[in-house]
Amino acid sequence: MLKALTIKNFVIVENLDLEFSKAGFFALTGETGAGKSILVGALSLLLGERADSRVVRDGCEKADISAEFSIDGLTRVQQLLKDDGLFELGHCVLRRTFDRGGRSRAWINGAAATLSQLKSIGMHLVNIHGQHDHQLLMRSAEQRIFLDGFAGAGILAKEVSEKWHVWQTTKQNRIRAEQDAAANAKELDYLKWQLKEMDIIDFSSAEWPAIETEYKKLSNFALLSENMRQIIQIVSENDNSIVDQMLSVRKILDSSIEHDRNLQELGAVIDTANIQLNEFLSGSKSYFEKLEYDPSHWNSLERKIDNIYALSVKHKEPVEKLPDLKKQISEKISGLEGSVDFDELLSKEVEARDIYQELASKLTVKRREGAQDLENKITVALGLLGMKDKIFKVVLSAITEGTAFGQEKIEFCMSNKAVVQPQPIARVASGGELSRISLAIQTVMSNVIQVPTMIFDEVDSGIGGGVAETVGRLMRDLGSKHQVMCVTHLAQVAASAQQQWRIKKNTDGQSVRSSAELLDKDGRVKELARMIGGLDVTNISIQHAAEMLETASRFD
């Protein structure tokens, strides 16, 4: 519920701070042009409506509107905030600024937000009724939700939606399988051709380095053979070979050791070197002896390597990843070759359709029963609100194929008693009538409506006397379950409120300012007397105002 509303430099409002208790009926009163409806307009903008630079007060660069809401128990709002990472325990603060250039910025709980986010959150916080579009009850989807709630069909409607999606899924599976069958044949041919082309990939990713090494070895066979031959000659076969020189070094060192035993350590070093030299020579001879060159094997390997690299370029994959690609193609072929049971797919679709239609038919029956009861109650309420010639109708229009929300479109309509054909309420009702219709619907469906705060603007347009008193009583009753605010110029309506704010226009001859005052009992009597008698407040009007407050207090 709305806890506080702050408005700065908005139209004629310089600085306004309003605080509200959690529940009840609050009246906003004041002289014409004082800015009562401007407050409603400011709140509408805060809830996501578009605006231009004209909302900024003359002489100011920026308008600023913010509101704090209590969201305890509002699970839908809490989830929306959590989804956007904007949740703060217990409350929600919306803020929006406007500059003279027509630009605006928005925040939710201190974080930058979009108009779309403001709307999605705001529509679950405040329901504004008047001559504007921010009304849940005027939307077909919301009318359906309200009817289902009134008829006790909410759970059944949810089941119908779930079964419809199951039906559509099975239907799409069947259609997709049929469409894929023809395409699969062509794709299978192509994939099999690709797999045949990749027969040459007969190695794993781990084996590729060894193949590459063998290719390099055979490519340089002549060089390797000549190099190894020269190494063997230099080490052991040439005159004055390394082996011979090492033996000479050892003999010279042995003759020196006889004269200095400390040279024995060098002898150990030369012995180790001779051992390693012999191992090197043995390994070189072994490698040289095993070197073989088979022209046919070399030609075959060269062709294989060329083809492998060609596949790598073609598929834009490194050579070492080609075995994995071959495996993927093979698995895809297996998947496409898997048989599809079209009869089973059709059977599942028909079964899902029958289940949906059975539940949807039950939902239709519940909706028709609830619609008749709702029509009667709202028509009675409209009569109390001075609209005795109006008949409220809930029109259920059949939808052949059905939808996620059932087999009918739901629309709240109105007709005159002299006119048979009902029309959508948004099309046939005037602004004042629209507000009273909304009030009647809200009152009858107060246990269904989840939006905590309701604001009525011009709800008393074109009424007076006993009807106005009825409007006040209905709002007071609605305020026992919701937070209800009403902009009104009728004392009968304002007297029923638990709290009353007076909006006053002040001017210094150059500029106009709007201010708000929460009235105490004496202040309310004076304001009601003004509303009854105009500028000429008499003792009789004051007495009448006091009696109206006293009478309204007995409503509880």
CB 108 within 8 A of CB 92: yes
- Candidates 138, 123, 2; CA nearest to 438 is 138
- Candidates 449, 390, 385, 457; CA nearest to 419 is 390
pLDDT score recorded for residue 134: 40
Q: Is 135 inside any structural domain?
A: no
Q: Is 462 inside any structural domain?
A: no
Q: Is 452 inside any structural domain?
A: no
CB 284 within 8 A of CB 224: no
Which whole-number Å values give the CA distances from 333 to 59, 179, 195, 357, 510, in the listed order? 74, 17, 9, 39, 84
pLDDT score recorded for residue 102: 82
Residues 6+ apart with CB under 8 A from 61: 99, 100
How many Cβ atoms from other residues are within 10 Å of residue 158's Cβ? 11
Which whole-number Å values give the CA distances from 340 to 184, 228, 382, 548, in the listed order? 11, 64, 60, 78
Which amino acid, 132?
H
Q: Is 501 inside any structural domain?
A: no
Looking at residue 57, the DSSP 8-state letter turns out to be P
Q: Is 240 inside any structural domain?
A: yes
- Candidates 373, 511, 478; CA nearest to 129 is 478
What are the two backbone dihedrals, phi and then psi, of residue 498, each rounded to the nearest 5 degrees? -80, -30
Block residue for tokens 């246990």: 447
Which whole-number Å values give the CA distances from 273 to 245, 250, 254, 262, 287, in the listed order? 12, 11, 15, 19, 21
CA atoms within 13 Å, Cβ hemisphere of 498:
19
| Alpha carbon distance 426, 409 (integer Å) | 16
| Alpha carbon distance 113, 106 (integer Å) | 5
H/E segment holding residue 10: strand 2-10
Beta bridge partners, 17, equal 6
H/E segment holding residue 288: helix 264-290
Going residue by residue through the chain, which has 556 residues, state the pLDDT in tens, using 9 for 90 and above: 899 999 999 988 888 888 887 779 999 998 877 677 788 888 989 998 888 778 898 888 899 999 999 998 888 899 999 998 888 888 899 999 999 888 899 999 999 999 999 999 998 999 887 644 445 567 788 889 889 989 999 999 999 999 999 999 999 999 888 887 777 777 888 888 888 888 888 877 777 887 777 777 777 776 777 788 888 888 888 888 888 888 888 888 888 888 888 888 888 888 898 889 889 888 888 887 777 777 777 777 778 888 888 888 888 888 888 888 888 888 888 877 766 678 899 999 999 999 999 999 999 999 999 999 999 999 998 888 888 888 999 999 999 889 999 999 999 998 887 666 888 887 777 666 776 787 788 788 877 777 899 888 866 666 777 888 888 888 888 888 899 998 888 999 999 999 999 988 877 766 777 888 899 999 999 999 998 887 778 888 899 999 999 888 876 6
| Alpha carbon distance 245, 229 (integer Å) | 19
Count of structural domains within the chain: 1
Which whole-number Å values give the CA distances from 322 to 195, 206, 251, 335, 537, in the listed order? 11, 12, 61, 20, 96
| Alpha carbon distance 50, 249 (integer Å) | 101
Q: Is 358 inside any structural domain?
A: no
pTM for the full model?
0.60
Tell me the residue length of the chain: 556
pLDDT score recorded for residue 516: 85
**Helix residue ranges, H only, 291-409:** 295-315, 322-337, 342-384
Helix (H), strand (E) counts: the chain? 18, 15
Name the CA dihedral angle for 221, 225, 228, 229, rounded to a multiple of 10 degrees: -170
H/E segment holding residue 274: helix 264-290
Q: Is 554 inside any structural domain?
A: no
Q: What's the per-residue H, E or C state across 471-517? A: HHHHHHHHCCCCEEEEECCCHHHHHCCCEEEEEEEEECCCCEEEEEE
| Alpha carbon distance 409, 164 (integer Å) | 15
Q: Is 296 inside any structural domain?
A: yes
Q: Which domain holds residue 222?
A: 184-337
How close are the terminal C-alpha atoms of the chain, in Å? 21
pLDDT score recorded for residue 375: 93
Q: In b/e form, how buried is each residue of 190-208, taking b as 16+ CB within 10 angstroms? A: ebeebeebbebbebeeeeb
Q: Is 308 helix (H, G, I), strand (E, B) or coil?
A: helix
pLDDT score recorded for residue 133: 40
Looking at residue 236, the DSSP 8-state letter turns out to be I
